[in-house]
C-alpha cells in the first residue's frame, strides 16, 4: 500500500476536507502525494495552534498551484487554508480526469454534489415559494433574454471563460462546454477574453439551444459580480434542483412568458424544436396545414423560441416577478 493511502491518513484527510466516505479509496485521483502531506500537516498544526502559518510551504509557485487546483483556498483574512472537497471536485471535474473514475462513483459524486447544491439553496427556494425576496447578499439564478445578457456584458469590466462545471460533471448532453463567463477569476483557471468575444460566445450558445441565465450580484462598491451561464435542462444544477423539488417556475426565476401570435405564425415548427421544456407542440401534416400548440404552464421564459422565430410570431411578455 502506498504510504499516503494508509487508512489512518485517508481518514484524517476525509474528515478535514469533508469528502463523502465512498470516495475514500479514490482520493489519490484528486490529490497528489505531496498535497495529501500538506493537508495532513495543516491538520496537525491546527490541533496545536489557533492560526496556521504557511511559511513551511516555501515555494510561492507551489502555494499558487495549490490554490489554483482547489487544494487550498484563502480565508477572509487572505490566509491559505485547506479547501473542502466541493472546491477540489469542481476544479478536478472541469479541468482534470473526471473519466478516471468508475461510472458508479462518478454518478454518486454527481448526486452528492447536487444534494449539496439543493441544501445550500433550500432557504432561498422556500423564500421564493412564499412570495418573498431573498436577502440581497443571496445570488439567485434567473433567466435572461439574449438582449438582456448582452446588456449585462456591456456593464461588466472583465470576462473569464470557464468550462461549464455542470455539463462537465453530469455529461447528459452534447451541448458546448466552454460557455460560462465569469466576471472574477479567483482561482486563476479561466481564460481572460474580450467583451466582444464574450458576446459572441453567448450568441453562439443561444444558437446551439442553450438558455442564458444570470447569477449576478454586486460588491460593496456596486461593481457587478458573478457570472453569465449558458444552460441546458439536462445537466445544469439549477434545472436539476427545480425538477427534483418540483419548483420549475421558481428556480431559476422566470420573468417572462412567451406569447404566440397565431396569425403571424407560419407553422414552421422551429419553436417546438428549440423549446427545452416542450411548451410548444407541433403536428406536421402533409395534406393539411401543420398545427402548432402552446402550453404556457410549461414555459419558463428563457426566450429561445422568440429569438429565432422567422416570422416574429413570438414575443416575450414580462410577468410579475421578484426580479
Whether pLDDT at 3 is above 70:
no
- More confidently predicted of 44 and 29: 29
3-state secondary structure of 107: helix
CA distances (Å), origin 247, targets 128, 211, 240, 254: 10, 18, 10, 11
Whether pLDDT at 39 is above 90:
no
- More confidently predicted of 152 and 53: 152
Model confidence pLDDT, tens digit, residues 142-195: 999 999 999 999 999 999 999 999 999 999 999 999 999 999 998 888 999 999
Q: Quote the pLDDT of residue 44.
A: 66
Q: Quote the pLDDT of residue 38.
A: 85
Mean pLDDT, to the nearest integer, of 79-103?
89
Whether pLDDT at 67 is above 50:
yes
- In sequence order, what E strands does 108-260 have? 142-143, 159-162, 180-182, 191-193, 211-218, 224-231, 256-260
Confidence bin at 208 (pLDDT 50/70/90): very high
- More confidently predicted of 198 and 133: 198
Whether pLDDT at 52 is above 50:
no
Whether pLDDT at 47 is above 60:
no
Number of DSSP helices (H) and strands (E) in the chain, helices first? 12, 12
CA distances (Å), origin 244, targets 37, 56, 239, 241, 295: 39, 46, 9, 5, 21
Whether pLDDT at 273 is above 50:
yes
3-state secondary structure of 224: strand
Q: Which residues pair with 162 in a beta bridge?
A: 180
Mean pLDDT, to the nearest integer, of 217-231?
91
Mean pLDDT, to the nearest integer, of 295-315?
94
Q: Quote the pLDDT of residue 236.
A: 97
- More confidently predicted of 305 and 263: 305
128 burial via Cβ count (<10 Å: 0-12, 13-18, 19+): buried
Q: Quote the pLDDT of residue 57.
A: 56
User: Is residue 190 within 8 Å of 161, Cβ to Cβ?
Assistant: yes
Percent of the chain residues topping a pLDDT of 90:
63
Domain ranges of the chain: 3-97, 134-232, 256-318
Q: Which residues pair with 180 in a beta bridge?
A: 162
Whether pLDDT at 298 is above 90:
yes
Whether pLDDT at 307 is above 90:
yes
Mean pLDDT, to the nearest integer, of 37-65?
67
Q: Quote the pLDDT of residue 290.
A: 65
CA atoms within 13 Å, Cβ hemisphere of 111 = 9
User: Which CATH number is correct for 256-318, 3.40.50.170, 3.40.190.10, 3.30.70.20, 3.30.930.10?
Assistant: 3.30.70.20
Q: Which of 160, 39, 40, 32 is nearest to 97 (CA)?
A: 32
In the block, cell 509557485 appears at 61
Q: Quote the pLDDT of residue 265.
A: 87
The pTM of the full predicted model, rounded to 2 decimals, is: 0.89
Whether pLDDT at 268 is above 50:
yes
Q: Quote the pLDDT of residue 48.
A: 47
Q: Which of 260, 295, 291, 259 is nearest to 277 (CA)?
A: 295
And the C-alpha cell for 122? 433550500
- Whole-number average pLDDT of the chain: 88
Distance (Å, whole) CA 84 – CA 120? 15
54 burial via Cβ count (<10 Å: 0-12, 13-18, 19+): middle
Amino acid at each position: 500500500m502506498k504510504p499516503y493511502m494508509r487508512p489512518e491518513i485517508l481518514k484524517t484527510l476525509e474528515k478535514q476536507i469533508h469528502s463523502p466516505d465512498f470516495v475514500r479509496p479514490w482520493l489519490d485521483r484528486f490529490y497528489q502525494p505531496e498535497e495529501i502531506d500538506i493537508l495532513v500537516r495543516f491538520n496537525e498544526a491546527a490541533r496545536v495552534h489557533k492560526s496556521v502559518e504557511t511559511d513551511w510551504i516555501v515555494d510561492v509557485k507551489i502555494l499558487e498551484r495549490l490554490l489554483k487546483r482547489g487544494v487550498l483556498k484563502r480565508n477572509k483574512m487572505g490566509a491559505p487554508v485547506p479547501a473542502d472537497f466541493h472546491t477540489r471536485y469542481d476544479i478536478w471535474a472541469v479541468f482534470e480526469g473526471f473519466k478516471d473514475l468508475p461510472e458508479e462513483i462518478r454518478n454518486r459524486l454527481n448526486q452528492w454534489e447536487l444534494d449539496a447544491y439543493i441544501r445550500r439553496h433550500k432557504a432561498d427556494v422556500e423564500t421564493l415559494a412564499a412570495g418573498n425576496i431573498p436577502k440581497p447578499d443571496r445570488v439567485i439564478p434567473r433567466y435572461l433574454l439574449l438582449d438582456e445578457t448582452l446588456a449585462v456584458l456591456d456593464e461588466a469590466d472583465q470576462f473569464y471563460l470557464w468550462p461549464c462545471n455542470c455539463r462537465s460533471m453530469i455529461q447528459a448532453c452534447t451541448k458546448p462546454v466552454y460557455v460560462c463567463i465569469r466576471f472574477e477569476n479567483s482561482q486563476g483557471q479561466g481564460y481572460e477574453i474580450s467583451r466582444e468575444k464574450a458576446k459572441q460566445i453567448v450568441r453562439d450558445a443561444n444558437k446551439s439551444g442553450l438558455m442564458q441565465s444570470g447569477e449576478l450580484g454586486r460588491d460593496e462598491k456596486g461593481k457587478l459580480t458573478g457570472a453569465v451561464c449558458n444552460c441546458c435542462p439536462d445537466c445544469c444544477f439549477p434545472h436539476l434542483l427545480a425538477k427534483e423539488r418540483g419548483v420549475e417556475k421558481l428556480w431559476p426565476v422566470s420573468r417572462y412568458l412567451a406569447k404566440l401570435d397565431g396569425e403571424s405564425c407560419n407553422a414552421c415548427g422551429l419553436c417546438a424544436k428549440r423549446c427545452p421544456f416542450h411548451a410548444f407542440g407541433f403536428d406536421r401534416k402533409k395534406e393539411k396545414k401543420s398545427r402548432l400548440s402552446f402550453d404556457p404552464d410549461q414555459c419558463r421564459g428563457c426566450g429561445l423560441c422568440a429569438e429565432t422565430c422567422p416570422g416574429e410570431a413570438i414575443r416575450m411578455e414580462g410577468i410579475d416577478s421578484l426580479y
